[in-house]
């Protein structure tokens, strides 16, 4: 733009509790600004001008105009080509005979020059009443101003959406974190980084779908409402169907339905959709989040490792154009083959106990946990204790992408026992920057083994474990009809976006995260 426009005054402040507050003086100033804008609204309606019209003819996106003319036109030169554009008014300067308006559409910006000798006095009066935040359409010749700014020299300027509240000023932005999440529409309007993050998210989703489709997977949709919770160890949300007079559960995972489809003869299926877990909220956890879950007949967990690498690397290439990304100021290389380490060997290294094994006495393993400050429960077996040691001592240290393999049977009720060691399962988690990104198995397809494990889970649930699974008789019946060997995957889409966008809370990558009511 040819000059800097005076910003609208800020209208939020941050209180000692971190939430937005409005002191009396600040609130009074905001009320005055809103009243001024409403007065303009009434003036428009008094002149029979609709401030919220339906249908606007826009022939050119701002980004297309700037790209088409980026290397053309000298200062003061016209193109002889007309454009019809629209966007949010984000800055303005000038008055009287010439006004410069800066429109933004997504992340593209373009100047509009409104001149009295072109538009006439009546139209310029309307231009004078435009406010930062309004949605505006303009038609005219594409020119380069005398100062070299690409512009539309308007022959018509139309208000297409009046803003009654002022946006935060561009110097201070929208700083209160909770307000950013609660008023995402404002966050996107004023924070370029928010728009960057959600552009990356869109590219990640497209890349994941593209990779899965090209590999012959069929995208499906399975129920969000389940008659019984299953597919993962988590506490579900409960709702009620009045028509059926029964409780239903928001799904905690689509796993058991997707496996039914493989049993029914669909060899490769995947779903990208929301799952719901009635658990805590943290920088990595939101009650609803997005998972990619897939199942492939005849595959095992080593095949799924190859798939995970391909998915993450393609998402990185398409979303940020590189597999060498920076997270929290530290580089991480997503390309190339990822190392594979068993959970047991990692725990041995971390504890210095090379003799530790799943046959080690449970008393000795409990003592080892105590030495590392891990509180244990009487019901935990050796496998669960080893997992606790891994999560306390190892997981957060794995910065570069690593496949941690061979989880204990005790903590993997849906995974196939390892073909060489029945104490563990053919399961892995993909860990990047110290966080789980994906969880995958060679799937359990033996209905008798599956029944025994689900019954053990049901006993744990009866003993008070709210996250334990229940016996799903219909799923067991599907298994009894015959189920092929398969490899399954659950990949956290939100965490992948966090990694590629270099943000550190899941709320930054979910457009409307779960919040307490105002």
Instruction: Identify the residue whose tokens are 């719901």.
Output: 276
Nearest CA to 338 out of 429, 250, 452, 259 is that of 429
* Helix or strand holding residue 39 (H, E): helix 24-46
Residue 115 bridge partners (DSSP): 98
Longest Cα pair distance anywhere in the chain, in angstroms? Answer: 92
Nearest CA to 3 out of 102, 88, 70, 89 is that of 102
What backbone phi and psi angles, to 5 degrees, belong to 113?
-100, 120
Instruction: Identify the residue whose tokens are 């943290």.
Output: 282
- Report residue 490 as tokens: 């659950």
Predicted pLDDT at 467: 78
How wide is the angle at C-alpha 77 spanned by C-alphas 72 and 81, nearest 5°?
A: 70
- Side-chain-facing half-sphere of 138: CA atoms under 13 Å: 36
How wide is the angle at C-alpha 57 spanned by C-alphas 55 and 62, nearest 5°?
A: 120
Predicted pLDDT at 96: 80
DSSP assignment, residue 507?
G
* Helix or strand holding residue 24 (H, E): helix 24-46
If one counts every other C-beta atom within 10 angstroms of the C-beta of residue 151, the result is 27
Predicted pLDDT at 465: 81
349 Cβ partners below 8 Å, 6+ apart?
Answer: none
Predicted pLDDT at 469: 82
222 Cβ partners below 8 Å, 6+ apart?
Answer: 251, 254, 257, 258, 261, 271
Pick the CATH number of 191-339+400-508 from 3.90.550.10, 2.60.40.3500, 3.30.930.10, 3.40.640.10: 3.30.930.10
User: What is the DSSP track for 419-463?
Assistant: SS-TTBBSEEEEEETTEEEEEEEEBP--HHHHHHHHHHHHHHHHT
Predicted pLDDT at 170: 57
CA distance 271 to 212: 10
The answer to whether domain 13-189 has CATH 2.40.50.140 is yes
- Say if residue 163 is exposed, middle or buried (CB neighbours under 10 Å; 0-12, 13-18, 19+): buried
Ordered by start, the domain boundaries in the chain are 13-189, 191-339+400-508
Q: What are the 10-residue block averages of pLDDT along the chain, 518 residues in total?
A: 37 38 74 94 93 93 95 93 96 91 95 96 94 96 95 96 87 68 90 95 98 98 93 88 95 95 97 93 90 98 98 98 97 97 98 96 97 95 97 98 97 92 97 97 93 88 82 94 96 98 96 88
- Report residue 29 as tokens: 């100033």
Predicted pLDDT at 438: 98
- Say if residue 420 is exposed, middle or buried (CB neighbours under 10 Å; 0-12, 13-18, 19+): exposed
If one counts every other C-beta atom within 10 angstroms of the C-beta of residue 454, the result is 21
What backbone phi and psi angles, to 5 degrees, belong to 257?
-75, -40
- Report residue 225 as tokens: 């409402």
CA distance 356 to 374: 17
CA distance 142 to 127: 19
302 Cβ partners below 8 Å, 6+ apart?
Answer: none
Asked if residue 508 lies in contact with residue 498, where contact means CB atoms within 8 angstroms, the answer is yes
What's the pTM?
A: 0.88
Nearest CA to 393 out of 345, 327, 334 is that of 345
């Amino acid at each position: 733009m040819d000059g800097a426009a005076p910003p609208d005054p800020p209208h939020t402040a941050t209180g000692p509790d971190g939430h937005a507050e409005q002191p009396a003086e600040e609130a009074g100033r905001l009320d005055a600004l809103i009243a001024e804008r409403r007065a303009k609204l009434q003036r428009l309606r008094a002149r029979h001008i609709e401030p919220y019209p339906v249908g606007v003819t826009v022939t050119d996106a701002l980004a297309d105009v700037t790209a088409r003319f980026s290397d053309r036109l000298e200062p003061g030169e016209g193109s002889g080509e007309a454009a019809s554009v629209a966007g949010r008014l984000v800055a303005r300067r000038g008055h009287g005979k010439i006004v410069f308006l800066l429109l933004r559409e997504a992340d593209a910006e373009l100047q509009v020059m409104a001149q009295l000798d072109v538009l006439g006095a009546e139209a310029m009066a309307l231009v004078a009443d435009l406010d930062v935040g309004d949605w505006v359409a303009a038609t005219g010749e594409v020119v380069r101003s005398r100062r070299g700014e690409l512009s539309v020299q308007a022959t018509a300027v139309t208000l297409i959406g009046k803003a009654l509240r002022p946006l935060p000023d561009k110097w201070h932005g929208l700083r209160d974190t909770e307000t950013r999440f609660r008023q995402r529409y404002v966050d996107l309007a004023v924070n370029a980084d928010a728009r960057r993050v959600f552009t990356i998210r869109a590219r990640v989703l497209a890349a994941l779908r593209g990779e899965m489709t090209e590999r012959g997977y069929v995208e499906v949709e399975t129920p969000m409402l389940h008659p019984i919770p299953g597919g993962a160890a988590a506490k579900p949300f409960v709702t009620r169907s009045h028509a059926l007079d029964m409780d239903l559960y928001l799904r905690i995972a689509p796993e058991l339905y997707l496996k039914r489809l493989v049993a029914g003869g669909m060899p490769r299926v995947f779903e990208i959709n929301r799952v719901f877990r009635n658990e805590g909220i943290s920088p990595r956890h939101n009650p609803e989040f997005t998972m990619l879950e897939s199942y492939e007949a005849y595959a095992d967990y080593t095949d799924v490792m190859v798939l995970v690498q391909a998915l993450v690397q393609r998402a990185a290439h398409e979303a940020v154009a590189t597999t060498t990304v920076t997270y929290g100021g530290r580089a991480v290389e997503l390309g190339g083959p990822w190392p594979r380490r068993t959970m047991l060997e990692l725990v041995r290294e971390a504890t210095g106990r090379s003799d530790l094994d799943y046959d080690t006495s449970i008393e000795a393993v409990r003592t080892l946990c105590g030495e590392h400050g891990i509180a244990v429960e009487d019901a935990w077996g050796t496998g669960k204790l080893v997992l606790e040691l891994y999560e306390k001592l190892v997981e957060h240290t794995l910065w570069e992408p690593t496949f941690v393999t061979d989880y204990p049977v005790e903590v993997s009720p849906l995974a196939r026992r390892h073909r060489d060691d029945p104490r563990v399962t053919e399961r892995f988690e993909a860990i990047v920057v110290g966080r789980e990104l994906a969880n995958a198995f060679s799937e359990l397809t033996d209905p008798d083994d599956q029944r025994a494990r689900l019954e053990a889970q049901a006993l744990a649930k009866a003993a008070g474990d709210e996250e334990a699974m229940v016996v799903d008789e219909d799923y067991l019946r599907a298994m009894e009809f015959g189920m092929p060997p398969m490899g399954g995957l659950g990949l956290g889409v939100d965490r992948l976006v966090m990694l590629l966008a270099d943000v550190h809370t899941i709320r930054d990558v979910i457009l409307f995260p779960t919040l307490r009511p105002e």
